[in-house]
């Protein structure tokens, strides 16, 4: 899925892979891509709340927020950003 929404605070062109899309939809919650010592990490907003400066990528009824610091460097949100990846989505 690629966001093409031109509203302020919305992302342009950041791709969400199908496995991450499934991950978000199965967990029925919003997530945030933030900075960790090993690179970008995808965490539930209950762990890392979104900030007003975050970009937003819609995934079904949910949103993946992206730290403005990470948004400069990423063009996709992929399974490598999930802290523990379960093969049996």
pLDDT tens per residue across all 89 residues of the chain: 443 333 434 445 899 999 999 999 999 999 999 988 888 999 999 999 999 999 999 999 999 999 998 898 999 999 999 987 544 44
Question: Residue 81 has what DSSP assignment?
Answer: G
Q: What is the pTM of this model?
A: 0.80
Least Cα distance to 79 among 9, 11, 31 occurs for: 31
Among residues 68, 38, 25, the alpha carbon closest in space to that of 50 is found at: 68
Q: What is the pLDDT of residue 12?
A: 58
Domain ranges of the chain: 15-81
Number of C-beta neighbours around residue 52 at 10 A: 6
Shortest CA distance to 70 belongs to which of 86, 55, 87?
A: 55
Residue 36 token pair = 């960790």
- The predicted pLDDT at position 8 comes to 37
């Amino acid at each position: 899925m690629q966001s093409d929404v031109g509203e302020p605070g919305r992302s342009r062109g950041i791709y969400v892979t199908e496995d991450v899309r499934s991950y978000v939809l199965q967990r029925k919650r919003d997530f945030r891509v933030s900075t960790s010592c090993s690179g970008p990490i995808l965490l539930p907003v209950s762990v890392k709340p979104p900030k007003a400066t975050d970009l937003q990528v819609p995934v079904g009824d949910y949103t993946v927020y992206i730290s403005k610091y990470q948004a400069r460097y990423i063009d996709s949100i992929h399974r490598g950003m999930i802290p523990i990846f379960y093969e049996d989505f």
